[in-house]
Amino acid sequence: METVQELIPLAKELMAQKPSRKLVRLYVLGGVLALFGAVLGLMETLCSPFTAAGRLREREAAVAELQAAQERKAIRERALLEKSKQLEAVQGCRAQTNRLHAS
């Protein structure tokens, strides 16, 4: 069944065969499920641009968070490096001072 226009002749043909009550219920259930699937597919198609934009925003937020974490790590490393240089400079001065007095 490619079009809805074929649905009416099909229904007339099914009713002309006098199907049992269970068979009619089965046909109705199948039709309802098919209609429900078509509506869900249509809703998914219509809403997909919005969900894609949401995923893009989430991805950008994750990338920004990673970049911020990397920047914080780099700042910490620079601070530790500067601290160690200052400590070495202070220790170097003390060593020279000790040598000058000892000689």
Q: What is the pTM of this model?
A: 0.41
- pLDDT at position 13 over 70: yes
* Residue type present at position 95: A
In a domain, 2, yes or no: no
In a domain, 6, yes or no: no
Domain count, the chain: 1
In the prediction, which pLDDT does 36 show?
92
Query: Distance (Å, rounded) from C-alpha 62 to C-alpha 47?
Result: 23
In a domain, 54, yes or no: yes
Q: Which residues contact 4 (CB under 8 A, 6 or more apart)?
A: none
* Residue type present at position 66: L
**Highest mean pLDDT, choosing among 10-14, 38-42, 81-85, 93-97:** 38-42
Closest by alpha carbon to 1, among 37, 49, 34?
A: 34
Dump the DSSP string for 62-94: HHHHHHHHHHHHHHHHHHHHHHHHHHHHHHHHH
